[in-house]
Amino acid sequence: MKANRLVRVILGLLCLAIFLGYAFLLGAVSPKSEDFTGGDWATYLRENYGLNPDGTPVEGYASAAQPSVDTQASAAPEEVVPAAEAPVEAAPAETAAAPEPAVDPASPYGQALANAAAQGLPTPPDIDITEWQYVLVNGDHGLNPIDYAPANLVYLNMTGDDTDIRTEYNGNRQVVDAMIAQPLIDMTQACKAAGLPVYLSSGYRSYSTQRENFERICRNNGISDGKNAEGNYITMPAGHSEHQTGLCCDITDYYHEIKNDSIAQIATVQWLGEHCADYGFILRFPQDKRDITHVMSESWHFRYVGVEAARYMTDNHLCLEEFAALYGVV
């Protein structure tokens, strides 16, 4: 009897435990006031469980707990090509620079390049050695025609007190080829600005004037060829004088009836020697080039050759004969 009673007690307690567990679960899932504010039971069931009040499922319900599907994100990811395997876009082709035309070794400039290199000189100017400013006139190179005269002569103030260029004859002015008039004025004005006096002593001489000059000097010095005892010209025969070209000018500080080596010491001539290349002129007959020019030293004789050639000659200590020889003029 006692055993039966004990069994019944245990079964009763088991049933009570089952009942209490069921009650607890029902309370956990039952709606509470905080679960739906401003709504009703039907709305709560529909929105949270997809059920109608009678327990049937709501048609087309998608649970809020279910994450929505991002069709774009869920699409198969685009394949990323590693940088090493990515096709390299070809760089735009650079326009090839047109090759510079080769210099003909037999041309005057081709010869100048080769001769300068052989002598250890810098690259010479790319010039046309046949242009007017490079004409070589000396004892071996005469003018053609021998009685040549510049087409356009102009007349300049001898002391640089004014800078006008006159084209009509004026015996009180110095005459030069019109092509060198402005560079000559620029140079003499710069010299004057440095506080030094300037005198244009002798410019263009005609063939006849040079012939008379040559004969007079030869007669006065007891010579017939215009040369001194060293074999250097002290006066040039007509047709062989740079003065006949109109491209040169003797420049001193004032009128010197007799020109000699002492003129090299005057400040004006020294200034001109240092700055003449800036204006396209060279000192034509340096003392240490007499064995090449075959002309006595003339520190006052300045010849126009253009700025580019003048600077090259001055920087490399070349006389006109040496410069012309680079280009094949011998």
Residues 6+ apart with CB under 8 A from 226: 214, 217, 218, 233, 234, 235, 236, 237
pLDDT at 9: 66
Closest CA to 236 of 228, 225, 248, 223: 225
DSSP 43-62: HHHHHHH-B-TTSPBPTT--
- Could you say which of 298, 308, 321, 322 is catalytic? 298
0.85 exceeded by the pTM? Answer: no
Active site residue 298: yes
Residues 6+ apart with CB under 8 A from 173: 155, 156, 157, 158, 166
Reported as a pLDDT band with limits 50, 70 and 90, residue 11 is confident
The alpha-carbon radius of gyration of the chain (Å, integer) is: 54
Reported as a pLDDT band with limits 50, 70 and 90, residue 29 is very low
**Of residues 216 and 12, which shows the higher confidence score?**
216
pLDDT at 229: 95
Reported as a pLDDT band with limits 50, 70 and 90, residue 49 is low
- What are 65-79's pLDDT values in tens digits? 444 434 344 444 455
3-state secondary structure 264-314: HHCHHHHHHHHHHHHHCEEEEECHHHHHHHCECCEEEEEEECCHHHHHHHH
DSSP 109-122: HHHHHHHHHHTTPP
pLDDT at 8: 74
144 has pLDDT over 50:
yes
Mean pLDDT of 127-143: 98
Range name among 22-31, 97-106, 114-123 with the lowest pLDDT average: 22-31
- What are 280-322's pLDDT values in tens digits? 999 999 999 999 999 999 999 999 999 999 999 999 999 999 9
**Residue positions counted in the chain:** 330
247 has pLDDT over 80:
yes
Q: What is the token pair recorded at 15?
A: 């049933």
| Fold category of 125-326 in CATH | Muramoyl-pentapeptide Carboxypeptidase; domain 2 (3.30.1380)
Q: How far apart are CA 265 and CA 11, in angstroms?
A: 146
